[in-house]
Chains A and B, each alone.
Chain A
Amino acid sequence: MQTVMQQVSVAQPSRPAPSAVPAARVASAGARGDLIFGGLARMATAFVLLVLAGIALATLIGGWPAFARFGASFVARTAWDPVQRDFGALVPIYGTIVTAVLSMLLAVPIAFGIAIFLTEVAPRPLAGPISAAIELLAGIPSIIYGMWGLFVFVPFMADWVDPWLAASLGRLPVLGALFSGPPLGLGMLTAGIILGVMVVPFVAAVMRDVFTLVPSALRESAFALGATRWEVVWHVVLPYTRTAVVGGIFLGLGRALGETMAVTFVLGNAHDFNLSLLAPSTSIAAAIANEFTEADSATYLSALIALGFILFVVTFIVLVFAKLLLLRLARQAGR
């Protein structure tokens, strides 16, 4: 009885609870039902928290032997020798960061362009279908990107882009080291481009959504002052949505850091440290996917799980940052 009254008042705090006296019998059965149902729902919610904590804990425990054996230098060494059981995470970490940064360099301007096109340029009847098409791009499974990358994009890079880069930028004094080596088509540049393509729809969707949150009074007054569409975007829309736009970019970065299949196909899985973006390399996710079933010693397996823990921690930080920024605009817009 008491619980029913309490929960009624929780659901609608501003109103007095309806009298439950005529239905006393029903109410006691209802109270039991509420106890069971509410309890189940609460357990399910706690389970969500448990999953996140479980991921962190399980990968930490699984990776502990590697952390204990190699110490803090695990993240700073380039060795990766399954025979000698000597492992360092620097090459995959470097590969993860470089491919993710490359992908963002490509994805952010394109996503920004798409968001401007959808909110400012496209006529109404066109904006809907194009928006849906871009979202389709986000729906394609990442393994399809990987296959397309391996069979179509890698040969394209090897035949056209890599030789041209090596012949032009590769000749430069310092920068040249980034573009040296044989044109295999595999490597961090190819992986970065494919990741960029994958991330574009996520970032574009966030930007499009936050751009529509700008109060029309702000936009209209800028137009009334004679501003062009681009000036409205640059001087009114973008400053208003800045934190959320950065949040969307970090959301995309979180995706790019953890993406596995698309990069596994095109990175080449090489653990040798190489500055060149055109040389085969590896990333954390690609190393785990490629080598997990081949790991023949406990140390090897533990090193791979330790890589997973590092990846989880890094993406967790990036995603928390992204969400906090996005929440700020949501509050500002009064949602």
Chain B
Amino acid sequence: MSAPRPLLRGRRKAVNALALGLASFATLLGLVVLVWILGTTLIHGAAALGPHLITQMTPPPGAAGGLANAIFGSTLLVLVAVLVGAPIGVLAGTHLAEYGRAGPFAELVRFVNDILLSAPSVVIGLFVYQIVVRPSGHFSGWAGAVALGFILLPVVVRTTDETMRLVPISLREATLALGAPKWRMITQVIYPAARVGILTGLLLGIARISGETAPLLFTALNNQYWSMDLGHPLANVPVVIFQFALSPYDSWHSLAWAGALLLTVFVLVVSVLARTLLRGRTN
């Protein structure tokens, strides 16, 4: 840095003010877009809200209807995805934190897991199409749930690994010194200690998969009728939004907005909940 000659000082101050001003402006821009998107969704979505959303099925073009089958289908898909993906994710996270630690295998898995975390969800949909839909011959709820499970998996692996590594080593030493085998130490001491963090990871994962659309297009597809059968195409909110929003019908548009509002509120509430839990733990 040059010596602070008086002439230069004014210029440097001006550059500083300009740069910090632009930085503040960039932040303002981000907040404006956030308000713009949320505001649009709220205004259009609130206008279409009503009890019909949860009592009626998705309608054919021009007719009145709701989202009951789609809301149920989405709930089912997410639930099954969590039941399938979460145990595998927690176990893998456990292995990384308790068995692998800093070894080269664990480092490789962490690396691969981080890649999976950012992998395009549309490709994961194609993957599940190849391994589930194509062999079985038809689109199905199971395929959709598996696709969502694959997206949930890396989120759970990462948060489980990270929170379990935060559990103090002295807890492990105390348990082992009492003669407990390692698996008892993990299930009865480490899991309870890391409970909040693991739960946070699950919530973040649920927030992530609830809005996923692309992978469901080639797996669960859609279903105009009420169905509880995971063996067949299953209605779900994201794909309904996609199809209705791109249609030329006003009644479908308004249902798409209603679905968008429900989805956004659900996802944001879950992720805020997750963050609040996380903050409670670190404080």
Contact = CB atoms under 8 A, between A and B. Distances in A.
Q: Do A and B come from the same complex?
A: yes
A38 B118 contact: no
Interface of A: 4, 7-8, 10-12, 15, 18, 20, 22-23, 26-27, 29-31, 33-34, 36-38, 40-45, 47-49, 51-52, 54-55, 58-59, 61-62, 109-114, 116-118, 120-122, 130, 132-137, 139-148, 150-152, 197, 200-201, 204, 222, 225-231, 233-235, 251, 254-255, 257-261, 264-265, 285, 288-289, 292-293, 305, 308, 311-312, 315-316, 319-320, 323
Contacts of A315: 118-120, 123
A265 B246 contact: yes
B130 A62 contact: yes
A48 B16 contact: no
Contact of A41 (B12, B22, B91, B213): B91
Given A33-B184, A122-B27, 18 more contacts: A10-B99, A30-B180, A51-B116, A52-B115, A55-B123, A113-B23, A113-B26, A118-B27, A121-B20, A137-B37, A143-B242, A200-B30, A229-B16, A255-B118, A258-B119, A264-B242, A293-B221, A311-B120
Interface in B207-256: 207, 210-214, 217-218, 221, 238, 241-242, 245-246, 253, 256
Given A141-B213, A235-B1, A258-B122, A44 B23 contact: no
Q: What's the dominant secondary structure at chain B's contact region? A: helix
A168 to B, nearest CB: 22
Nearest to A322: B118
B1 A227 contact: yes
A285 B115 CA distance: 18
A311 B12 CA distance: 45
Nearest to B185: A11
B94 to A, nearest CB: 5
Contacts of A34: 181-183
B30 A260 contact: no
Given A47-B92, A231-B16, A144 B260 contact: yes
A280 B196 CA distance: 47
Nearest to A12: B173
B47 interface: no
B181 A4 contact: yes
Given A22-B179, A120-B23, A130-B27, A48 B217 contact: no
Interface residues of B, number: 101
A38 B182 contact: yes
B214 A285 contact: yes
Interface stretch (B55-63, B65-73, B149-157): B149-157
A113 B92 contact: no
A55 B32 CA distance: 38
A45 B95 contact: yes
Contacts of B20: 116-117, 120-121, 229-230
A31 B264 contact: no
Contacts of A264: 242
A58 B122 contact: no
Given A4-B181, A44-B88, A140-B264, A113 B116 contact: no
Nearest to B113: A48
Interface in B118-149: 118-124, 126-127, 129-131, 134
B271 A261 contact: no
A140 B267 contact: yes
A111 B34 CA distance: 14
Contacts of B253: 151
B176 to A, nearest CB: 6
B19 interface: yes
B200 interface: no
Contact of B131 (A54, A116, A201): A54
Contacts of B13: 228
Interface in B41-100: 41, 44, 87-89, 91-92, 94-96, 98-100
A226 B6 CA distance: 13
A140 B22 contact: no
B95 A44 contact: yes
B84 to A, nearest CB: 11
Given A27-B179, A41-B95, A265-B246, A132 B275 contact: yes
Given A225-B1, A319-B118, A147 B16 contact: no
